[in-house]
Structure 1
């Protein structure tokens, strides 16, 4: 939780609730910059908006030009696509649409689960240019909210705010001289916590199958190879230097063992399984309630 006496600025954006806590009151101009950053990100990447940049790829073969921060997003997705053998992919959007998690939020499957098309067959993403050989649904949701958390942190630092906590519905970035203690939400009961963690100039992100779930066994964390919702893992938490990396790794932990990710990424992690057991790295040791 933020420190007592800190100022809070709350708003809605990209379909979720945000709270920016700072040690001093945010200037109105900085508030406008934060809101503008969220609006720009939504207009760029939302697969639910017909006027977004990425929605142009759904209408047929062609290319779009993304902002400069898309380069880091592309590099991260490329690494995790490789490490997970294609299970984690930015082309999972059509599989989500098929199961009912679509622009109209129908939440009614239109067919059986179907895996995503292979990146190497249909998508060229070089720098800020993204080209599709066929109509594509580009979905960067597994890392996008984390990247937006980082971008809001950059806005605050550029404006001289060095003590802050950016909280995008549980995806957090902390900066400052005093750490904050954060509760880890119970995956089956949002009113309870399974433990706490101390956040000290780093990011904490979570992924849980209960956050966006509908129907019988349907939720938003899919295996890109099969298009099936993953059932063995129910919740993950990760801590890393950036929220973008933490956010992406929280999803990747549904698909591969932590050791496969630790070869290339420096992060701490916690996984909770459907049978009630949990595994965790040293960064979470001693933080869980018994």
Structure 2
């Protein structure tokens, strides 16, 4: 996604494997930068499946781990979406991603075939989480959005009432409305439409964001059907506008697996979806336009 905004103060940095840009109407002092760094570091220490010392890694080793106040809303949302997608969205998909080479080793060398997400129960007592049997969690379908919300909250707490937090396409906007171009999944120099985001969030997911080759030429990507462990091959890209980046992020993933109607009775959101054959559909009340 590409954005357009007026003259503001911006900082850019890399964290959790992605590029971040924070833009505000007022200066972003060193103390606020340090607070943002702290928020991100704390989240990464709990939820990163790429770290052997993280909270989710300890759960995979058989521990019951206190994941703090971010756990209830995040895991409840993912549990709801697991139900609504018939198991297609599942935080236990970590094993399937690792099987395809998208794991801590980072070698992108897939093992043969597909590996469905393991059958395990996620047990939660307040903020303390364990799995039965032990299994690794991957909350990438909503976690980056939740972290965007946390960073936006840190900015608001510091008095930055007009700000944009952008984590490589997951955006939270406070203050003046922002026009956002929807990047074509097959041509990063083109857009398939433009939407306006005001006091809310937008998140997108696309097959070209994290993709790699399987021996024999098939392209793999990170959006899997957890029931089979196979990359989804019918949808190329999705975008969702919602009140929070966590919900927008999660629903953008869910739209790879179900029709919007399966979600509209439970969530307040607007959406655009492009299939792999190039056909795009969108919600009737989308605040913007999709090009013909």
Could you say which TM-score interval applies, normalised by the shorter chain? Answer: over 0.9
Residue 88 (structure 1) aligns with: 89
CA contact (8 A) 2:36 2:154 kept: yes
CA contact (8 A) 2:233 2:276 kept: yes
Residue 199 (structure 2) aligns with: 201
CA-to-aligned-CA distance 1:16-45 (integer Å, 9 cap, x gap): 000000001112111110111111111111
| 1:143-222 equivalence runs, <5 A | 143-176=142-175, 178-215=176-213, 216-222=218-224
Deviation at 1:2, TM superposition (A): 4.8
Q: Is residue 221 of structure 2 the alignment partner of residue 224 of structure 1? A: no
Distance 1:114 1:197 in 2: 37
User: Secondary structure of the residue that 2:225 maps to in structure 1?
Assistant: coil
Distance 1:169 1:241 in 2: 18
Deviation at 1:124, TM superposition (A): 1.1
Q: Normalized against structure 2, the TM-score is what?
A: 0.95
CA contact (8 A) 1:269 1:283 kept: no
Point out the structure with the larger strand share. 2
Q: Where does structure 1 differ by over 6 angstroms across 4 or more consecutive aligned residues?
A: none
Residue 66 (structure 2) aligns with: 65
CA contact (8 A) 1:42 1:52 kept: yes
Distance 2:14 2:183 in 1: 21
Residue 128 (structure 1) aligns with: 127
User: Secondary structure of the residue that 1:259 maps to in structure 2?
Assistant: helix
Residue 249 (structure 1) aligns with: 251
Distance 1:246 1:133 in 2: 29
User: Secondary structure of the residue that 1:190 maps to in structure 2?
Assistant: strand
Distance 2:10 2:257 in 1: 36
Distance 1:6 1:89 in 2: 39
Structure 1: segments with no counterpart, 5+ residues? none
| 1:108-119 equivalence runs, <5 A | 108-118=109-119
Distance 1:123 1:147 in 2: 19
Residue 37 (structure 1) aligns with: 39
| 1:49-60 equivalence runs, <5 A | 49-59=51-61
CA contact (8 A) 1:2 1:165 kept: no
CA contact (8 A) 1:217 1:229 kept: no
Residue 107 (structure 1) aligns with: 108
User: Secondary structure of the residue that 2:92 maps to in structure 1?
Assistant: coil
CA contact (8 A) 1:2 1:21 kept: no
Distance 1:251 1:77 in 2: 11
Structure 2: segments with no counterpart, 5+ residues? none
CA contact (8 A) 2:195 2:288 kept: no
Aligned CA RMSD, in angstroms, stands at 1.2
What is the count of residue pairs matched by the alignment?
Answer: 286
Distance 1:221 1:4 in 2: 34
CA contact (8 A) 1:230 1:254 kept: yes
